[in-house]
Structure 1
């Protein structure tokens, strides 16, 4: 967790300053470590090593702070999943959607499980806050729409329905391996690849 103050300056991602990004990353770290009750403006200031009131100046309300966390989570998940680069990681060959999906999911489960905890904390909170629900759903569309496009390109006769089935399978696996009864049994890359092969074969045929 970051413990020093950074200088405000333009950044390359969606956050206007390093301080804004630090606040967002610290909010996620607190969510993973302490849960929703541990996420407060004061706690973010203290954990990030920022002057008191810095987080309130950036996100004045709790709703605003939660929106910051959702937006940063979506950005970090996009960096972790990075589907366009995944096929190149398999011996320099393009294994198609099976390898892309298996590699993305394996990297998420083995390297960034704390982001999954944040995802579940924010998803549950969104069920109680309609204004956050809309924001959370909008952030999630960046992942759903590429999957629909991928299934269309793969020849699916019902790409939206098949994308939903794919998301549901992935979500169930991530929950089980991150916080559920299989949290000590993360599948290997080969096991994930075989799982996706079976799933896609059922949708698309040989």
Structure 2
């Protein structure tokens, strides 16, 4: 299968998911969104299940690329980020989160749709396990910073950051937070992430604190 055609179809499917939800994801809808002849999507993905699996793999690949571009760990083999400078780490995380809420907003909405679908199809969650790397890196980072219970703290940190994104896309934060894609949004996110990092690292952290 040509890589560019695969990307075009899965990217179109991501847009369909973001705009119409899981029920709106059909082969015909993807063909129309991609501007390709009817039957193209079904020729590459014979079933809806294989189409969804391809979308999930595409989401994982694109998210991984964003993390790498932001200097953040993208998989278990990536170097561990340290908390020597919490504000710098928070700014890097905030930049990626802001992208996921602005230019990559459709991807984030599609990811949520796939995660919900995975509650009925566990094999999709297996493909989406790239999120496990974030938890593993968070545990290592917080352990190095002196957190008393780094495994628990790492899990909670990632869950809180995930919740921060969800709130701004689908919750009350969508109305109260600065518009995504702006410097104000990134600055506000950085403050929130830095607060979480300091809280989970704990008072024994060796991470550099801001000076007065």
List alignment gaps of at least 5 residues for structure 2.
Answer: 74-84, 179-184, 206-212
Instruction: Report deviation, 1:100.
Output: 2.1
8 Å contact kept, 1:63–1:132 = no
Inter-partner Cα distance in structure 1 for 2:99 and 2:176: 15
Matched, 1:102 2:128: no
8 Å contact kept, 2:9–2:41 = yes
Query: What does residue 3 of structure 1 align with?
Result: none
Aligned partner (choices 174, 180, 186) of residue 183 of structure 1:
174
CA 1:193/1:65 → structure 2, altered by over 3 Å: closer, same or farther? same
8 Å contact kept, 1:176–1:183 = yes
Aligned partner (choices 192, 196, 211) of residue 195 of structure 1:
192
CA 1:80/1:69 → structure 2, altered by over 3 Å: closer, same or farther? same
Instruction: Report deviation, 1:33.
Output: 1.0
Inter-partner Cα distance in structure 2 for 1:189 and 1:49: 34
Inter-partner Cα distance in structure 2 for 1:59 and 1:24: 10
Inter-partner Cα distance in structure 2 for 1:80 and 1:184: 26
Query: What does residue 118 of structure 1 align with?
Result: 110
Superposed CA deviations along residues 137-160 of structure 1, whole A, max 9, x for unmatched, are: x34334333333433444444433
Matched, 1:127 2:119: yes
Query: What does residue 170 of structure 1 align with?
Result: 161
8 Å contact kept, 2:139–2:150 = yes
Q: How many residues align?
A: 185
Query: What does residue 58 of structure 2 align with?
Result: 72
Inter-partner Cα distance in structure 1 for 2:98 and 2:35: 33
Aligned partner (choices 146, 150, 164) of residue 137 of structure 2:
146
**TM-score with structure 2 length normalisation?**
0.75
List alignment gaps of at least 5 residues for structure 1.
Answer: 1-7, 10-16, 87-92
8 Å contact kept, 2:86–2:198 = no
8 Å contact kept, 1:102–1:196 = yes
* Worse-superposed segment, 93-102 or 24-33: 93-102
Query: What does residue 19 of structure 1 align with?
Result: 5
- SS of match in other structure, 2:102: helix
- Aligned ranges 1:23-62 → 2 under 5 Å: 23-62=9-48
Instruction: Report deviation, 1:195.
Output: 1.9
CA 1:45/1:106 → structure 2, altered by over 3 Å: closer, same or farther? closer
RCO higher in 1 or 2 (8 Å CA, sep ≥ 6)? Answer: 2
